């Protein structure tokens, strides 16, 4: 119930206004959002990669319906990738792109055209792109665009959300050689007809999907902070005789940082999902919905104790 309430609040203009003006909000947001500019993103990326971690960068600004802003978002990604290339960070940092930020609401062709431009900039920077998955209504369009992009950019990553009932099916379709697939639990509201709503069922789906990906020929990217799921991922790597460089763990910036470093210290590939930009509200609210400890941290900050 709490998760659903927070996800509802992520779309509420009234809740947004309260959050944006509340005392101490900024202090907590900065624990999960790297800043607002390309310079902020480059600084955090440099710090994380210096510690042996990989990075994926997300420019916040999803759900864009204005054509001018869509182009500005695509331009921002190109500028970010140019910065990564110039600073030599391309080998350790990629970008994550939400299609709703670069024109999906204006049509698949618009989103595809902008995604192609971003993928070209990524190639020039010696890195790649992962297309984030969003609302359940966008799954089919996103996968179509992934498949189309992979004709010219075969290293484009896809994302599957385990809370969706078709997740295992999609994982099986994507577990082919060279296919980069991020598996996450999912952080959007969805009707029960298309999604599991019980935590235990979502966890079971995640394990089923993980088994498919780890037994396949692709490159699984296991996005979770759950210690049990991390352990299962490690066990599946041993079972399927996977070397450490054939899969990776992914975690969010500001969450379980010590665990990120512990895994990397043991030789695992660990990528940190770093979001930045002024449009932080929806992203931040989904982080609260994902993990109750995040909500407790925010509540303490509001009364000046964090």
- Mind telling me the catalytic residues? 132, 182
Element (H, E) at 159: strand 158-161
The contacts of residue 235 (CB under 8 Å, 6+ apart) are none
**For residue 110, what are its two tokens?**
């618009």
Q: Is residue 171 a contact partner of residue 139, using CB atoms and an 8 Å limit? A: no
Residue 93 forms beta bridges with which residues? 55
- Residues β-bridged to residue 158: 181
Q: What is the 3-state secondary structure (H, E, C) of 200-244?
A: HHHHHHHHHHHHHHHHCCCEEEEECCCHHHHHHHHHHHHHCCCCH
Q: What is the 3-state secondary structure (H, E, C) of 24-70?
A: CHHHHHHHHECCCCHHHHHHHHHHHHHCCCEEEEEECCCCCCCHHHH
Q: Taking Cα atoms as reference points, which of 16, 27, 22 lies closest to residue 254? A: 27
Nearest to 275 by CA among 92, 7, 60: 60
Residue 207: how many other CB atoms lie within 10 Å: 15
CA–CA distance, 291 with 284 (Å, rounded to integer): 11
H or E stretch at 250: strand 248-252
């Amino acid at each position: 119930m709490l998760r659903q309430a927070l996800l509802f609040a992520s779309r509420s203009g009234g809740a947004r206004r309260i959050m944006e003006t509340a005392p101490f909000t900024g202090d907590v947001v900065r624990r999960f959002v790297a800043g607002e500019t390309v310079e902020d993103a480059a600084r955090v990326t440099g710090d994380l990669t210096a510690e042996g971690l990989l990075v994926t960068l997300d420019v916040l600004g999803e759900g864009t319906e204005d054509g001018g802003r869509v182009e500005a978002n695509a331009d921002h990604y190109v500028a970010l990738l140019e910065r990564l290339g110039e600073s030599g960070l391309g080998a350790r940092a990629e970008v994550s792109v939400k299609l709703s930020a670069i024109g999906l609401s204006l049509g698949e062709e618009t989103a595809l055209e902008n995604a192609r431009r971003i993928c070209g900039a990524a190639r020039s920077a010696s890195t790649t792109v992962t297309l984030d998955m969003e609302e359940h209504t966008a799954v089919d369009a996103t996968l179509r665009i992934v498949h189309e992009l992979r004709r010219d950019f075969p290293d484009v990553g896809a994302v599957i959300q385990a809370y969706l009932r078709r997740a295992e099916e999609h994982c099986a379709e994507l577990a082919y050689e060279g296919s980069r697939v991020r598996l996450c639990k999912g952080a959007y509201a969805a009707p029960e007809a298309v999604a599991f709503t019980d935590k235990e069922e979502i966890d079971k789906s995640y394990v089923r999907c993980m088994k498919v990906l780890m037994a396949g020929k692709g490159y699984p990217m296991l996005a979770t902070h759950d210690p049990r799921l991390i352990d299962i991922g490690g066990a599946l790597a041993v079972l399927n005789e996977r070397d450490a460089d054939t899969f990776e763990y992914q975690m969010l910036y500001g969450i379980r940082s010590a665990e990120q470093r512990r895994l990397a210290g043991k030789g695992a590939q660990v990528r940190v999902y770093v979001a930045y930009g002024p449009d932080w509200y929806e992203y931040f609210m989904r982080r609260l919905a994902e993990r109750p400890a995040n909500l407790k941290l925010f509540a303490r900050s509001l009364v000046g104790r964090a």
